[in-house]
């Protein structure tokens, strides 16, 4: 125990010395957002590997891509030998006593892709604030029954719910932006509307815009056509919270994406809450790096498919205060047979309730037959990561041991990334779980998924091969 404490103390001393190097090499914004809160976890002197803890997977990937070289340079100077960094997810940021201005020397500042127009956007928004009329909260286009009280919490979504509650309790200060992602029908829209309802409940004067990215695009196009872009900007930059669903549909909308980018900057700089929802990870949205990078400023968090216990709890919740109450054994049957998403659970509950209201004696056997007739209850074939690895290795004509090893020839590296991409796409395993199966860290898996997603858009041969592998895995 004493040795462990000494190692920990030495690790912290190394990192403190490295921070004094780093604070002279970056600007204040980069220091505060990305570096100051990093947690020194461990140092392996034998392999010269220094582990740093960060908040989430997305931030791991962002640091890997944009700051690894800078951090390794600073640590190597302190340790006096080449040092490699390993980023670890799941650590609460720590406060650094260092301040940029106090340590600033003559070295040029390094920042990750700065955008020069954000300051202009902020100034413009501040001028508008004094003249624009604020829209009342009663105009909010959300369902009043979509609240935290009606949202069923399970292992699949408890992290998301905790983050959403924190955002609603302290808009613009807790997690900003909050990026919620997950498959269709898993409750993302319910959760984001619960945030809106809770903000308004606590502050009836709050001005909130909730809409889909498609609606944002349509409104912007209309504003351009009618020469009303100033009014559009006043509407979306003079608010307390912006909540946008289906942000992946911004992809390819150049003008609208540019407008969203500057709207984001204006609201963020004014400490106004931003909540974004998508059906895929930030990296998989296909948006520009300058936009995706901003998602690391807050918290990207995933909603996973519910397990049996959560599905049963959802069904019980849905029939609360309803005139027709189905037997619990029938609810359990629905939860067991329908595993795809929450929408299908609700549809099944409605179907059986309608039969009861029509005077039909709903036995368990009859209910099960109705469900089998109306819904796909066969369930998808379970795809295991081991099978993905074997089939990918076969298609790329590489040995499985090489796929799981450290060799880096192009064909092996591509095969490895494709296998990671398919593991993420075709299983419900998290990034850390996939990383463990490949003997890698989660940041490597996130990078692989991002890389293959981009390559599939332009490389027809790779796209054909991946499609064939998917077909074989699902057969």
**pLDDT tens digits, residue range 413-462?**
999 999 999 998 888 788 888 989 999 988 888 888 888 888 887 888 88
* Superfamily name and number for 137-303: P-loop containing nucleotide triphosphate hydrolases (3.40.50.300)
pLDDT at residue 105 greater than cutoff 50: no
Q: CA 20, 25, 26: angle at the middle one, nearest 5?
A: 105
Q: Which residues pair with 49 in a beta bridge?
A: 44, 84
pLDDT at residue 216 greater than cutoff 90: yes
Q: Does residue 280 or residue 97 have the better pLDDT? A: 280
Contact 276, 177 (CB under 8 A): yes
Locate the domains of the chain by residue range.
2-103, 137-303, 308-374, 385-474
CATH number corresponding to 385-474: 1.10.1750.10
Q: pLDDT value at position 383?
A: 83
pLDDT at residue 233 greater than cutoff 90: yes
Cα–Cα distance measured from residue 179 to residue 43, given in angstroms and rounded to the nearest whole number:
32
CATH number corresponding to 2-103: 3.30.300.180
pLDDT at residue 217 greater than cutoff 80: yes
Q: pLDDT value at position 106?
A: 37
Q: pLDDT value at position 95?
A: 64
Q: pLDDT value at position 114?
A: 38
Over the stretch 46-92, which tens digit does the pLDDT of each residue have? 888 899 988 777 778 778 877 888 888 889 888 888 898 988 887 77
Q: pLDDT value at position 322?
A: 81
Over the stretch 121-136, which tens digit does the pLDDT of each residue have? 333 333 333 334 455 4
Indicate yes or no: pTM above 0.75: no
Report, as an integer, the average pLDDT of 318-330. 86
Cα–Cα distance measured from residue 398 to residue 402, given in angstroms and rounded to the nearest whole number:
7
Confidence of residue 2 (pLDDT cuts 50, 70, 90): very low
SS3 341: coil
CATH number corresponding to 308-374: 1.10.8
Mean pLDDT score across all residues of the chain: 82
Closest CA to 253 of 206, 213, 303: 213
pLDDT at residue 108 greater than cutoff 90: no
Q: CA 310, 420, 431: angle at the middle one, nearest 5?
A: 40
């Amino acid at each position: 125990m004493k040795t462990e404490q000494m190692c920990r103390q030495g690790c912290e001393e190394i990192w403190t010395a490295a921070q004094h190097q780093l604070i002279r090499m970056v600007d204040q914004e980069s220091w505060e957002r990305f570096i100051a809160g990093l947690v020194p976890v461990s140092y392996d002197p034998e392999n010269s590997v220094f582990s740093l803890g960060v908040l989430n997977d997305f931030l791991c990937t962002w640091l890997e891509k944009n700051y690894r070289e800078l951090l390794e340079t600073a640590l190597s100077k302190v340790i006096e030998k080449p040092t490699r960094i390993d980023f670890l997810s799941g650590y609460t940021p720590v406060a650094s006593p260092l301040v940029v201005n106090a340590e600033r020397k003559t070295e040029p500042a390094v920042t990750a892709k700065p955008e020069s127009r954000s300051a202009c956007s902020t100034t413009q928004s501040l001028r508008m604030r004094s003249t624009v009329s604020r829209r009342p909260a009663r105009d909010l286009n959300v369902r009043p029954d979509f609240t935290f009280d009606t949202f069923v919490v399970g292992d699949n979504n408890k992290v998301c719910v905790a983050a959403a509650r924190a955002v609603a309790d302290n808009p613009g200060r807790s997690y900003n932006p909050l990026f919620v992602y997950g498959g269709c029908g898993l409750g993302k829209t319910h959760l984001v509307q619960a945030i809106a309802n809770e903000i308004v409940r606590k502050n009836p004067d709050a001005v909130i815009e909730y809409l889909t990215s498609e609606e944002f695009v349509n409104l912007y196009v209309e504003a351009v056509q009618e020469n009303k872009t100033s009014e559009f900007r006043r509407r979306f930059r003079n608010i307390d919270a912006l909540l946008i669903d289906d942000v992946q549909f911004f992809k390819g909308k150049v003008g609208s994406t540019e407008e969203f980018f500057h709207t984001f900057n204006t609201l963020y700089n004014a400490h106004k809450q931003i909540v974004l929802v998508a059906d895929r990870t930030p990296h998989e949205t296909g948006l520009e790096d300058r936009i995706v990078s901003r998602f690391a400023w807050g918290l990207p968090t995933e909603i996973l498919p519910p397990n049996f216990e959560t599905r049963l709890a959802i069904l019980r919740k849905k029939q609360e205060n309803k005139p027709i109450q189905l037997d619990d054994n029938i609810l359990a049957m629905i939860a067991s047979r329908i595993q795809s998403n929450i929408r299908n659970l609700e549809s099944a509950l409605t179907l059986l309730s309608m039969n009861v209201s029509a005077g039909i004696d709903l036995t368990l056997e009859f209910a099960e037959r109705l469900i089998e007739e109306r819904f796909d209850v066969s369930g998808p074939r379970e795809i295991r990561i081991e099978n993905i690895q074997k089939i990918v290795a076969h298609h790329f004509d590489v040995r499985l041991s090489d796929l799981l090893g450290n060799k880096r020839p192009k064909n092996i590296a591509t095969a490895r990334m494709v296998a990671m991409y398919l593991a993420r796409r075709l299983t419900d395993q998290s990034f850390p779980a996939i990383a463990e199966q490949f003997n890698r860290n989660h940041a490597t898996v996130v990078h692989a998924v991002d890389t293959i997603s981009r390559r599939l858009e332009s490389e027809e041969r790779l796209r054909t091969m991946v499609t064939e592998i998917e077909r074989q895995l699902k057969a």
